[in-house]
Structure 1
Amino acid sequence: MKSVKLHFLGAAGTVTGSKFLLETDEGNILIDCGMFQGIKDLRLLNWQDFNFPPLEIDLVLLTHGHLDHSGYLPRLFKQGYKGPVKSTAPSLAVTSVILMDSAKIMEEDAEKANEEGYSIHEPPLPFYTVTEAEKTIEYFEAVEIDTWYKFSNNIGYRFLRNGHIIGATFIEFEITGKRIVFSGDIGREKDPLLPPPYKPQQADYLILESTYGDRLHPEENIEELLSGIVKDILEKRGILIIPSFAVERLQHIMYILWKLYEKNKIPNIPIFIDSPMGNDILGIFSSYPAWHRIDPGELRKMISHFNIITSYGDTWKTIDDNRPKIVVAGSGMVTGGRVLTYLRYYLEKPETYVILIGFQAEGTRGRQLQEGAAEIKIFGKYCKVNASIKHLQSLSAHADQQELLGWLKEIKNKPEKVFLVHGEPAASDFLRLKIKDTYSWPVHIPHLNETVELLL
């Protein structure tokens, strides 16, 4: 092996657009293939040609199915990639749901923007279509967990469980005796739905996420907060809206609300789950019981407790329903999906509560609400924010700083380099200092499209 180059094609200096390419004499492997989300300058990067010839990529591996790790796949195929996409079976199931759902939303948003004339693009186009998503899914190939696969004479790889969401992994490479580890997104140690992440034992080079590298998740009494809000909306005849990530956080908040009802801490208030993608993910939980902690019987009872909305017509019936209620709807950063319809109608009402769950990326409506915006733009029109906004960080699916440092502690050798990715600049730099002080390891924060040569 003469050389190995590592290209940082996304999630460098930002939390979105994860794409890392290993360029070797024996072939080229892309680890994750995510879309950029958030501020306009990042979103515009999605429309640029891929920064490495897609025809020269031999293999794509996905750590997990979130859009910022998989959402660029249809564009990669459109630009000429022709190889397989490999990950665990539940991750590929999640990716399939997310690609199809996002394609439908993109087509609907483009059509709506065209009809109402609020897009600056002429004509408004979806980033990819349903047909393109379907063609991409045809190339998916499932792998087994904790099993070494041979890519070439000197390169092998394996997937290990990582918490975060169902099916999520980190990926280890063995290249001429050196271990290269891509962390993906690392989950929580005490997630009620998922087992704790495995920990790497060796890493000569480590590509590590740093989403919450500068903070600890607070200890929050979520049950007390939610039961108090439910009491308040019952008195005021209001509504609690929870924008939720369809994968894991929606199932997590359903589990919390179900347990509150079981413990008689909240009454049998109508709870509507309005996320077609989230409903599909519930099906994945049912199909892969070995990947989560909920007993199959309890999972069925939990699902039957909620009003599952399947059509957009039922969304409007729910809005017209004047009873106090809870609505859990996608998307988690308020960037699209059904939750926008509810917020457009209810955000100006002071008897409304909105609970934000987990990380809100820069430039998203969720971040604007979190930071106290007086109004936000929905479907081309500004809506005043008179609702009460709460932000729960303890429900995040990402490890915090302490958990990230703990994830490293079983590595027995001293890495030649740690690369911090998937974090905003302040978070990455803070984690860099903590790793240096805790482990005395060399750490580098790469910039977008930087290429480094790994010494093997």
Structure 2
Amino acid sequence: MGIVSSKPPVFRLTFLGATGTVTGSRYLVEAGDKRLLVDCGLFQGYKALRLRNWAVFPVDPASIDAVVLTHAHLDHSGYLPKLVDEGFEGVVWCTPATRRLCGILLPDSAHLLEEEAGYANRTGTSKHHPAEPLYRVASAHEAVRRMRNWDFDAPFEPVPGVTARFRSQGHILGAAAVTLSYRGVSVTFSGDIGRYHDPVMQAPNRPAASEWIVTESTYGDREHPPGGMKQELCDALKPVLQRGGVAVIPAFAVGRAQSLLHVIAQLQEEGELPAAPVYLNSPMATDVTSLYRQYSGQLRLDEAALEKMYRNTRIINSPEESKELNRRKGPMVIVSASGMVTGGRVLHHLIAFAPDPLNAIILCGFQAGGTRGALLAGGAGHVRIYGEDIAIGAQVKQLASASAHADATEIIAWLRSAETRPRGVFVTHGEPHAADRLRVRIEHELGWSAFVPEFGATFDLMSGGLDVGLMARGPLGIEKFSTS
């Protein structure tokens, strides 16, 4: 007669990122003897965070059986090529649009990393000799090759014994909440929650029935203004264009750039803005924009609105055209990546146009601490670009309504709409104050248990206990919450 094990089944969640910060989304789920990651993002912003990208991964990548992506933004997907380099050999599960976007974003990220390393080697500005990129273009293509498409609302098994399901979240093309179920216990990861009244993307779906929810909290301590992006963008752009200035808009290539182009086209057609030329100078954003027709079912826009957006926008393709744009005079609008001014062609536009008070820099999304965007939003008189201090004479305006993330009240509304009351909510993907403020609101307004986990915390999803007073050294060599 065989021996029957009395050990309870293992279903554990460990927080390897997006704790105390809005970047580096990485959640390790252990189910039985299988391991999978939900999201595999880059840390961005402060140097101390970025250095985590270079640290030894807390779990042997070769021991991870699969990755499930909520969406394509680099703070959720951008570490995948490095994970592949370090030995990960499994499948990456995502929605079809997420795979298409990753096919654009990951090679572009790798190309920029290679360029930065090459520049550092040519100028001797790195402490490392030679400077190496975090990963290369070949690794990015290999990561995309590992991806397997799966549609919204259709169950699949990323690893044996675990059932998963994607549910549309708005935010950007392909963005999903992910629900994992194992032996009757479920946990839902919100990914990034979209807006209920986004001008381009459909509203997020309600959370699936789950014992546990892991929610983002990027705007967990604030509300977006009631007027919406259209009026705020008009108020920011109109005086600049009327005085013949150049409006430089750093924009995330996926999502924000397209929303901005749509709203600007509307405003110009309605006569609210002068008929100044509008340029999209981001090869990646251009490629992304071309996908919108293919996935129009995820949009609020009809074919006429898409056509208007394309017709109103002048695409800048080559580096030569980009350089020529810097020699032109206003009035004009330049939309260019990256949204937090961390790299890309927008840096050259700032060098050209930021010193002149006739011009304006319009920020239109969350600016993580430690980025140039955060410095600009904070009123910095200069920013450092390619080793030089660039004076900021231009007016700097940060739009409060342009984010693709739900604000605090919208997150509460999304949680409240859950099919069943969860046993608890983990609040992640936010700065400390934002995460804790959302925790308080969840507890007071919904009456649910809510926790803000620290980096490396491990939670037993089966036992359901969380005693933050009992700390133990976990099997990963990092701190975990004891549930015994």
TM-score band w.r.t. shorter chain: over 0.9
| Match of residue 183 from structure 1 | 190
SS at match of 1:104: helix
Task: Pick the aligned partner of 2:397 from 390, 394, 397.
Answer: 390
- Counterpart residue type for residue 402 of structure 1: T
Unaligned runs of 5+ in 1: none
Match of residue 77 from structure 1: 84
TM (norm. structure 2) is: 0.91
Post-superposition offset of 1:198: 0.5
Unaligned runs of 5+ in 2: 1-7, 464-484
The equivalent of 1:158 in structure 2 is 165
Aligned counterparts of 1:222 and 1:208: Cα–Cα separation in 2: 24
Letter in 2 for 1:45: R
Counterpart for residue 200 of structure 1: 207
SS of equivalent residue, structure 2 residue 367: coil
> Could you say which residue in structure 2 is the equivalent of 1:167?
174
Q: Distance in 2 between matches of 1:404 and 1:123?
A: 45
2:307 corresponds to 1:308: no
Pick from 96, 99, 105 the counterpart of residue 92 of structure 1: 99
Q: 1:66-97, CA deviations, whole angstroms, 9 ceiling, x for partnerless residues? A: 00000000010011000111110001111111
How far did 1:167 drift?
0.6
1:154-303 equivalence runs, <5 A: 154-220=161-227, 222-303=229-310
Query: Which residue in the other structure is 1:19 paired with?
Result: 26
- 3-state SS, counterpart of residue 292 of structure 2: helix
Q: C-alpha distance in 2, partners of 1:377/1:349? A: 16
**Partner AA of 1:195 in structure 2:** Q
Change (3 A) 1:406 1:132: same
Matched, 1:444 2:451: yes
Counterpart of 2:376 in structure 1 is: 369
| d(CA) in 2 for partners of 1:162, 1:128 | 29
Aligned-residue Cα RMSD (Å) equals 1.6
1:237-286 CA deviation, whole Å, 9 max, x = no partner? 32100000001100000001100111122232111110111001111112
1:225–1:168 Cα change, 3 Å? closer
- Taking the aligned partners of 1:229 and 1:97, their CA distance within structure 2 comes to 30
**Against the structure 1 CA distance between its residues 234 and 169, is the aligned structure 2 distance closer, same or farther, given a 3 Å change threshold?**
closer
Q: 1:141 aligns to what? A: 148
Instruction: Provide the rounded CA distance (Å) in 2 between the counterparts of 1:404 and 1:227.
Output: 27
More divergent stretch after superposition (416-425 vs 121-130): 121-130
Structure 1 residue 226 displacement after superposition: 4.0
Deviations 1:363-410, CA, capped at 9 Å, x for gaps:
000011101111111111111111101111211010011000000113
Aligned with 1:320: secondary structure? coil
Report the alpha carbon displacement of residue 229 of structure 1 after superposing the two structures with TM.
Answer: 4.7
CA distance in structure 1 between the partners assigned to 2:121 and 2:374 by the alignment: 27
Q: Which residue identity lines up with residue 29 of structure 1 in the other structure? A: L
Tell me if the contact between 2:16 and 2:25 (Cα under 8 Å) persists in the aligned partners.
yes
d(CA) in 2 for partners of 1:297, 1:116:
49
Task: Answer yes or no: is the 8 Å Cα contact 2:265–2:308 preserved in 1.
Answer: no
Q: Which of 1 and 2 has higher RCO (CA within 8 Å, sep 6+)?
A: 1
State whether structure 2 residue 356 is matched by structure 1 residue 349.
yes
Compared with structure 1, are the counterparts of its residues 211 and 225 closer, same or farther at alpha carbon in structure 2 (3 Å cutoff)? closer
Would you say the 8 A contact 2:28–2:37 is kept in 1? yes
User: Is the Cα–Cα contact under 8 Å of residues 68 and 158 in structure 2 kept in the other structure?
Assistant: no
Cα distance, 1:236 vs structure 2? 3.4
**Worse-matched range after superposition: 109-118 or 130-139:** 109-118
**Structure 2 SS opposite 1:287:** coil
1:19-53 per-residue CA deviation (whole Å, 9 max, x = no partner) reads: 00111214111100000000000000000121111
Whether the 8 Å CA contact 1:201–1:410 is kept in 2: the answer is: no
Name 1:52's counterpart in structure 2: 59
- How far, CA to CA, are the matches of 1:406 and 1:337 in structure 2? 36
